[in-house]
Amino acid sequence: MSPLIFRSVRLTPAAIPLALLASLAAASPAAAAEFTVDAVDYEFQARELQVAVGDTVNWNFVNAGHTATSARGQAERWDSGSVDAGQRFAHTFDTPGKYQYICVPHEAFDMKGVVTVGTDAVAKSVSRFRAKRTGKRVKVSFRLNEAATVTYRLKGAARRTVKRGRMAAGKRSLTVRRLKRGRYTGTLTVVDDFDRKQTAKSTFRVR
């Protein structure tokens, strides 16, 4: 019976770091990117843009007298102010959502744009909706599964609207008081940061 022969393989000093770097590179997330939007005459080019969380948008002002100003009530805000021709303004997006913005002096010329950041990962924005009437008031309770703009409307014996603006995720409630006698239908409308709308309804009677 012939003896077993073992052969050793020696790695060079540079081989181990290269192997480690390769595995780390494969596991690491993609680097943040930068995008450019040109403000030309009365138009943003591109008018709509899709980016990832952590990416930066640079507005390049080809002409003077324009702004890049976010709409109100969104998760992030920015305002370039009036910028001279040839100047740039940058904003880095950290929160997923659909962001609308305008040129303030030329909003009437429909000079606006949209930046969509990431994707909407929450399938159902609102749950556990309940309306409880006590006397001449109704308390509406619900859970927001993500940040959203909240509006509650009553139709029936009287019409009432309660707006709560953008609210953070969690248990939430609102109360409508001094209701007239009669039958009501209440509709809770929530709009998430991607402008996706969901509603919940209930009916009750005030005696």
Q: Are 103 and 69 in contact (CB under 8 A)?
A: yes
Query: Which residues lie across from 140 on neighbouring strands?
Result: 131, 174
Q: Are 88 and 37 in contact (CB under 8 A)?
A: no
In this structure, what are the phi and psi dihedrals at residue 22, rounded to the nearest 5 degrees?
Answer: -65, -40
Domain boundary among 117, 137, 152: 117
Same domain for 135 and 99, yes or no, is: no
Q: Are 61 and 83 in contact (CB under 8 A)?
A: yes
Same domain for 163 and 183, yes or no, is: yes
Which carries the bigger pLDDT value, residue 30 or residue 170?
170
Same domain for 40 and 66, yes or no, is: yes
Same domain for 185 and 146, yes or no, is: yes
Q: What is the pLDDT of residues 179-190, one digit of tens each?
A: 999 999 999 999
Same domain for 89 and 150, yes or no, is: no
pLDDT classification of 31: cutoffs 50, 70, 90: confident
Query: Which residue in the block uniquely carries the two structure tokens 């370039």?
Result: 80
91 burial (CB, 10 Å; 0-12 / 13-18 / 19+) is buried
Same domain for 44 and 112, yes or no, is: yes
Quick check: is 71 in a domain?
yes
* Distance (Å, whole) CA 198 – CA 111: 29
Quick check: is 3 in a domain?
no
Quick check: is 168 in a domain?
yes
Same domain for 64 and 111, yes or no, is: yes
Same domain for 136 and 100, yes or no, is: no
Average model confidence (pLDDT) for the chain? Answer: 89
* Distance (Å, whole) CA 57 – CA 49: 9
Q: Are 69 and 78 in contact (CB under 8 A)?
A: yes
Q: What is the pLDDT of residues 56-66, one digit of tens each?
A: 999 999 999 99
Upper half-sphere CA count for residue 71 (Cβ side, 13 Å): 17
Tell me the residue range of the domain where 153 lies.
126-206
Same domain for 158 and 201, yes or no, is: yes
Quick check: is 17 in a domain?
no
Same domain for 106 and 39, yes or no, is: yes
Domain boundary among 58, 93, 117: 117
Q: Are 62 and 128 in contact (CB under 8 A)?
A: no
